[in-house]
Structure 1
Amino acid sequence: MTGRFCRIAGFLAIGFVLTGSTGLEPCASAARGDDAQKKTGGEVKKNIGRKAASARRSLDEPFPKGRREKEFRKLLGEDFRVRHTDHFVVFYSADEEVVKDFIHRIEKTFDSVHRFSRRLNIKVDYTADKLPIIFCRNHDEFREIFRAIRGGEPPDEAAGLYLSGRANVSLFYDMSQNPFMREWADKARQLRDEARTEIDAGTRKAKVREAQWYTNRSKVYREEQNRSVVQHEVAHQLLYNFRVHNFESSWANPQWLVEGLATLFEVPPGKHGAGAGVINQRRLGDIRESIAEFTAEDWRRFIGAASPGRQMLSNEGYARSWALAYFLVKRKSRELSRYVELIKRRKTSRPVSAERELADFEKCFGNVDDAFAASVAEFVKRLPYRAEQE
């Protein structure tokens, strides 16, 4: 399988950015400007027609199939089955039962991101065809396909990634096949085997209870991770393709904004609602005790920070990004709309300076001073928190 992927990887390996859970990193666009200048009048007219058709498309109209599907079919081969939803084409080797929930999840995420974008009065640009997603059966396959598309190795911690630019694909694997998940399953089997041969009734019951704990914990963790990671990365893909983020220049997008907006969509639909309006209890739990210690200078450094390449943010980094994004959505939505439009107009092929990042932020939201730090801290501390149940 490695040889097959690597032989044909070239068509996707040009001009995309590794983003999502790994942050942002620039790479050279594939001679796009030169090619554009060589287009004939007929080709340019055809392009304008495509854009007009895309602009006319509405949420109720399914995205059409396109040539990207053929490219990915060639890359992945017969080992991967294909399912179409209204807005995505999903290539998968994972179990059907897992994929059914996965497909439900990505369309729900589409609805949530679309509502959010329209609520902020952001002009949504619809894609020319269905967005590609690859869902692998295990981490080994995930890593192999990442190598074929991107080259190099994916971050060890990543259960999902969005690769933007030319690739423009989300890549996942079934978390139940994670090595430590298999260890939990083995531990549960071992305990049940021991319980069957245990003579003492009390010890036997204790082993059965412990085995059930591993099983239940594994199930909850798998479901939570599969859902939250999927929703986070698909939110990245949609926010880029809707042009909420700057699609043309990855460096133009502040990392806190890219990650902060994606964390808004991690919460699975439930009795408390769905989408960006629901409090992300996991991120809130990671930040609520330390937020008051975050000074104005800390916020200035955080807002002005350049992307750390392919490094993943710490849990606190994601939580800070969520807290800032959620605060702005709830308290300064009009200013956030202006800020998003400002970022979209940036033209740069290199990291934006900390001075410019801060200046652009303050142009839209006002000074990042002690009053700003206090207002964010007070907002976060007042949010209702439900501690996760063990």
Structure 2
Amino acid sequence: MKFLKIALLSATLSCLTFGPFFLAETAAQQTTYPVMIQLDLKDETIQATPVLATEQRVIMLGRDGRMWDFAPQSASNFVQLATSFRPLPQFEMRGDLLAEFGNGYDVTGTGNYLVVHPAGQKDAWASQFEKLFRSFHRYFAARGIHLQRNEFPLVAVVFPDFRSYQEYAAKDGMRVSPGLVGYYSSLTNRVALYDVTHGNHDNPAWSDNMATIIHEATHQTAFNTGVHSRYAPQPKWMVEGLATMFEAPGVWDSHNHATLRDRVNKTRMLEFLEYAKTRRPANSMAQFIATDDAYYKRPATAYGEGWAMVFYLIETRPREFAAYVRKVAARSADQDYTAEERLRDFQSAFGSNFDQLEAHFLRYITDLPNKM
């Protein structure tokens, strides 16, 4: 595993600049970094390591997995510390979380997770996140995709009600409604959600909690194991398509749900089939892959199409899908991801004949109901 190469051009820094530092190379995951920097950013002092440092943009990674992305002139009091950067061990992060959330919450550690939850509700939450993490690993290992080890303990925060969740989300810069039960933040590297049952886990609405855990923990695991990059732009169809694919019991719990029927996300399949039958433009696969526009212009149909694309590719062309995932995740953080580059990366894995690929794709998804 290679180190980030950061060149120190001068020991004397001008007041508000990162000019003496530049990033020569970046990678999706690291375990050791050469330097730790302390600086003041807005109203906080941070200690972190540079992931990217240019004249226009700085990305820094904290010891708890938090990421800061800012313009260099917004920082001050920059100093290189004598100690090397190391991720916080789980016991230290647990103490920090207990201090942050205070009375009324417990913090339960599993093999890979630290779950902050209402006091006394360990059994309801912690094991669910860990189970999803392990099933994610098994699923990709079976398809020849080697996942990297997560550098940091993964943090999930469960709030007892919408109000406390809403207040926390506002600090993340997130505007949430009761219908948005949870989210993953690539900046904090945390999942946050609220308990829609208010502690009554026999309530049928508990299924909404579970669906949120599956979707958002899939995002979190993918961004922390090298499937996606936290630093470089990633195609939204792939990110959301993967998360919606994992919502199906046959994907996240294949031991108890082993059939093709179980692997199909029926809601997303029906969404896409209706869209394909009535409104989807012909020969539109390339456009869907090239930009994220569909998720902002027609979200009601984009999520179904993203699910269909990922499900088709990983079910029928897993080796090519693995190559594509690796290529996209390895992109440099200092590069935009243009439509032309997105199409070129896709074609390098799946071929350049979009007409043929789209025909196979539509035939496969359209025929799924007959196989279930």
TM-score, scaled to structure 1 = 0.67
* Coordinate RMSD, CA, aligned: 4.0
Q: Which amino acid aligns with 1:161?
A: Y
Q: Which amino acid aligns with 1:255?
A: K
User: Quick check: 1:231 aligned with 2:214?
Assistant: yes
Q: Which residues of structure 1 form unaligned runs of 5+?
A: 1-7, 18-25, 51-62, 179-184, 186-217
Distance 1:30 1:266, change over 3 A: farther
Distance 1:277 1:298, change over 3 A: same
User: Quick check: 1:93 aligned with 2:118?
Assistant: yes
User: Quick check: 1:142 aligned with 2:165?
Assistant: yes
Q: Which amino acid aligns with 2:316?
A: R
User: Quick check: 1:43 aligned with 2:68?
Assistant: no
The answer to whether the 8 A contact 1:109-1:265 is kept is: no
* Aligned positions of 1:183-222 closer than 5 A: 219-220=203-204, 222=205
Q: Which residue among 266, 275, 280 is the counterpart of 2:265?
A: 280
* Larger strand share, 1 or 2: 2
User: Quick check: 1:301 aligned with 2:287?
Assistant: yes
Higher alpha-carbon deviation: 123-132 or 328-337: 123-132
Distance 1:357 1:157, change over 3 A: farther
Q: Which residue among 188, 193, 197 is the counterpart of 1:176?
A: 197
What residue in structure 2 maps to residue 55 of structure 1? Answer: none
Identity level (%)? 23
Q: Which residue among 293, 303, 322 is the counterpart of 2:307?
A: 322
Residues 121-160 of structure 1 show CA distances to partners (whole Å, capped at 9, x for unaligned) of 3332222442111000111111111123x13523564111
User: Quick check: 1:28 aligned with 2:69?
Assistant: yes
Q: Which amino acid aligns with 1:377?
A: L
Q: Distance in 1 between matches of 2:136 and 2:297?
A: 23
Structure showing greater radius of gyration is 1
What residue in structure 2 maps to residue 334 of structure 1? Answer: 319
Residues 97-128 of structure 1 show CA distances to partners (whole Å, capped at 9, x for unaligned) of xx534333222211221112323433322224
The offset of 1:289, in angstroms, is 3.0
What residue in structure 2 maps to residue 362 of structure 1? Answer: 347
Q: 3-state DSSP class of the match of 1:346? A: coil
Q: 3-state DSSP class of the match of 1:126? A: coil
Residues 295-325 of structure 1 show CA distances to partners (whole Å, capped at 9, x for unaligned) of 454211211113789x697232111111100
Q: Distance in 2 between matches of 1:312 and 1:172?
A: 26
Q: Which residue among 267, 273, 289 is the counterpart of 2:248?
A: 267
Q: Distance in 2 between matches of 1:241 and 1:297?
A: 34
Q: Which amino acid aligns with 1:373?
A: E
Higher alpha-carbon deviation: 272-281 or 87-96: 272-281
Distance 1:297 1:333, change over 3 A: same
Q: Which residues of structure 2 form unaligned runs of 5+?
A: 1-42, 48-57, 62-66
Distance 1:35 1:275, change over 3 A: farther
Count of residue correspondences: 307
Q: Which residue among 353, 358, 365 is the counterpart of 1:373?
A: 358
Q: Distance in 1 between matches of 2:315 and 2:231?
A: 28
TM-score, scaled to structure 2 = 0.70
Q: Distance in 1 between matches of 2:314 and 2:77?
A: 40
What residue in structure 2 maps to residue 243 of structure 1? Answer: 226
Q: Distance in 2 between matches of 1:224 and 1:330?
A: 26
Q: 3-state DSSP class of the match of 2:183? A: strand
Q: Distance in 1 between matches of 2:108 and 2:260?
A: 24
Q: Distance in 1 between matches of 2:352 and 2:143?
A: 22
